[in-house]
A = this chain, B = another copy of it.
Amino acid sequence: MSKIETRIARAVSKVIFRHNMIEENDRILVAVSGGKDSLTLLHDLKKRQRGFPVPYTILAYHLETDFCGCCAGSRLKSLFEQWEVPYRIDGIAVRQNLKPGQELNCFSCSTSRRIELLRFARQHGFNKIALGHHQDDIIETTLLNLFYKGEFSSMLPVITYDKEPQVKIIRPLALVREEQIVEFSRQKNFNGVVCTCPYGRLSKRKKMKGIIRLLSRDNPLVRYNILASVEGKKDRKRRRF
């Protein structure tokens, strides 16, 4: 196990145990877009299974959209088989399902996917859905919501939707930094699998990254302070989300 893999595994352990994320006989649906984040998540959850205190099962679930020309599906399939992970690849008609006048964007696409994930989990008896959002996603989302939505909110490590109380959304990478995932995915050559969304408009998120980088140069605690504010914890000792 490489140094970076160990580091990531430790950060995942921390968040799993702190939030009691994985319980006995959990059936976890791992949402795999094919990007570096979800593949790192899947890799960790698969490896972790063997030595974990309680048994749990995972299913790698990939939703192929109707607008992406590169079709990561076949490449993902061989990766899942290589890792010996049970998987399922379904199609989702994101573009086709748009209502008249509705624009195809990150918001409508991710909402469609989320609805589909929840539907699949409910129908196939999964009680958890694992998403690949990492620490930088959470920090950036806090700022994006503040600056552009006018609300103080973020992505929490564990949430349950009111409409789907039997399915928990978990984010085991909540403590993992994006740069760690980048390093790990380079090492594992995940980038060959990744298929960049042709509609991706990340300019605002990039701006948030720039702001955090700028502030962190003088004060590395800025990242942890933002996370602490999300959890409403003031004491320094527990600042690490």
**A10, CB-defined interface residue at 8 Å:** no
Q: Which 6 A-B pairs have the closest CB atoms?
A: A150-B228, A150-B225, A152-B229, A147-B222, A152-B152, A151-B229
Q: How large is the interface on A (under 10, 10 to 19, 20 to 34, 35 or more residues)?
A: 20 to 34
Q: How far is the CA of A169 from the CA of B147 in the complex (A)?
A: 27
Q: Does residue A148 face the partner (Cβ distance < 8 Å to B)?
A: yes
CA distance A228 to B211 in the complex (A): 21
Measured between beta carbons, the chain B residues less than 8 angstroms from A211 are: 211
Q: Is the CB of A150 within 8 A of B219?
A: no
Q: Which of B147, B215, B229 contacts A150 (CB 8 A)?
A: B229
Q: Contact at B152–A225, with CB atoms within 8 Å?
A: no
Which residues of B sit under 8 angstroms from A148, Cβ to Cβ? 219, 221-222, 225
How far is the CB of A143 from the nearest CB of chain B, in Å? 8
- Residues in chain B near residue A99, CB distance under 8 A: none
Q: Which A55-93 residues have C-beta < 8 A from chain B?
A: none
Q: A239 within 8 Å of B by Cβ?
A: yes
Secondary structure dominating the interface of A? helix
Segment 194-219 of A: residues with Cβ below 8 Å from B: 207, 211, 214-215, 219
Whether, in the assembled complex, A233 has its beta carbon less than 8 Å from a beta carbon of chain B, the answer is yes
Q: State whether the Cβ of A224 lies closer than 8 Å to any Cβ in chain B.
A: yes
Given contacts A207-B215, A211-B211, contact A233 B150 (CB under 8 A): yes
Expressed in whole angstroms, the minimum distance between the Cβ of A202 and any Cβ of chain B is 14
Asked if residues A150 and B239 are in contact (CB atoms below 8 Å), the reply is yes
With CB as the reference atom, state the residue of chain B lying closest to A239: B150
Contact status B152-A234, CB under 8 Å: no
Instruction: Using CB atoms, name the residue of chain B closest to A208.
Output: B215
- With A146-B146, A147-B222, A150-B225 given, name 12 new contacts (CB 8 A): A146-B225, A146-B226, A147-B226, A148-B221, A149-B225, A149-B229, A150-B226, A151-B232, A152-B229, A152-B230, A152-B232, A207-B215
Residue of B nearest to A215 (CB): B147
* Chain B residues positioned under 8 Å from A152 (CB to CB): 152, 229-230, 232
Complex Cα distance, B145 from A225, in Å, reads: 9
Most buried by B among A222, A228, A229, A234: A229
Residues of B with C-beta under 8 A to A207: 214-215
Residues of chain B with a CB closer than 8 A to A233's CB = 150
